[in-house]
Amino acid sequence: MGESGSAAERRLGVGFGVAAYGAWGLFPLYWPLLEPAGAGEILAHRMVWSLLAVVVLLGVRRVPGGGARWGWVREFVRTPRKVAILAGAAAAISVNWFVYIWSVNHGHTVDTAFGYFINPLVTVLFGVFLLRERLRRLQWAAVGVGGVAVLVLAVGYGKAPWIALVLAGSFGTYGLLKKVAAVPAAEAMAVESTLQFVPAVGYLVWLGTRGTLDFGHHGAGNTALLMLAGPVTVVPLICFGAAANRLPLSVVGLLQFLAPILQFLCGVLVQHESVPPARLAGFLIVWVALVLLTVDALRTARRRPAQAAESGQNVESAQSTSTSDSASSIRDSTLTQASTSA
């Protein structure tokens, strides 16, 4: 691909990335539209319609090399370890989705934004304590500053910022399990949605037997919005995948902050949530931590080609290695960030 083609691909990737993170950032405007359905029913609808949406996606996508469209299913069921890991991931993201929907619909959107701001720091800690990864100085500094931010918020609230911590912890767990499972994004989501489908349908049936099911009882508009919870979940993930395949990790890492920034603005400007000084101070401190993480990521990205060249590789080999490293990192980023589908 020529230089102009590469530039066009990058611009397209940025467009897809902005679409994905922009949609995730504007989710706080969508979930309240589904009321009077409660958070539990909204979550169940999201699970049910997400499965149908991802099945359609897998059914229409192009299969390279004339391979079997659903051949991966047979291979997957032969690896019960991966099934178990993705079952854990499905449980983690279910907790994340429920807390997020409940928080947005109960006036805590700003708290959810803080949770997604500290999520990269939680992911870093998981890497250290669970994957035995080593941190660089700036990464340690970022984690320390993030810890200070949580303490400031805890003092300001008079209690731990549980919404932010649960969101960051559940999503960090989700990303970790998906990284360990190493299953492609669309296939992984199909498995997770399948595991969520039966409990979700069971819950909706139970609500129906009690006469408390809101689906179909508040007009066609409300019913359609509940059904759209599936496509609303899947489409940003498609855009994210398209962006991750076209952009270096450094750009993807910068774009990810668009979502919690928009969530914060939705909470303050649209839902008129208060931001007392202690909460604002916590946000400012965590933003310092995120700047440190971003600077470290950019410095590391610049070093890789130079290190490859110094090792005696030729230019072509160095470019191949850099591309491979970036692709691997992007895949890891996809596993941890596709969560922002909260």
Q: pLDDT tens digits for 283-299?
A: 899 889 888 888 887 77
Cα–Cα dist 39/47, whole Å: 12
What's the pLDDT band for 33 if we cut at 50, 70, 90?
very high
Q: Does 9 score more than 80 pLDDT? A: yes
What's the pLDDT band for 304 if we cut at 50, 70, 90?
low
Higher pLDDT, 315 or 30: 30
Q: Does 281 score more than 80 pLDDT? A: yes
**Average per-residue pLDDT for the chain:** 82
Give per-residue pLDDT as tens, 38-64.
999 999 999 999 999 988 888 887 766
> What sign results for the dihedral spanned by CA atoms 285, 286, 289, 295?
negative
**pTM value?**
0.82
What's the pLDDT band for 313 if we cut at 50, 70, 90?
low
Give per-residue pLDDT as tens, 243-266.
877 877 667 777 888 899 999 999
Q: Does 109 score more than 80 pLDDT? A: yes
Ranked by mean pLDDT, the top range of 87-91, 171-175, 278-282 is 87-91
Q: What's the confidence (pLDDT) of residue 227?
A: 95
Q: Does 300 score more than 80 pLDDT? A: no
Q: What's the confidence (pLDDT) of residue 330?
A: 34
Cα–Cα dist 141/144, whole Å: 5
Percent of the chain exceeding pLDDT 70 equals 84
Q: What's the confidence (pLDDT) of residue 305?
A: 60
Q: What's the confidence (pLDDT) of residue 251?
A: 76
Question: What's the first-to-final CA gap in the chain, in angstroms?
Answer: 36
Q: What's the confidence (pLDDT) of residue 268?
A: 93
Give per-residue pLDDT as tens, 146-161.
889 888 888 877 788 8
Q: What's the confidence (pLDDT) of residue 277?
A: 87
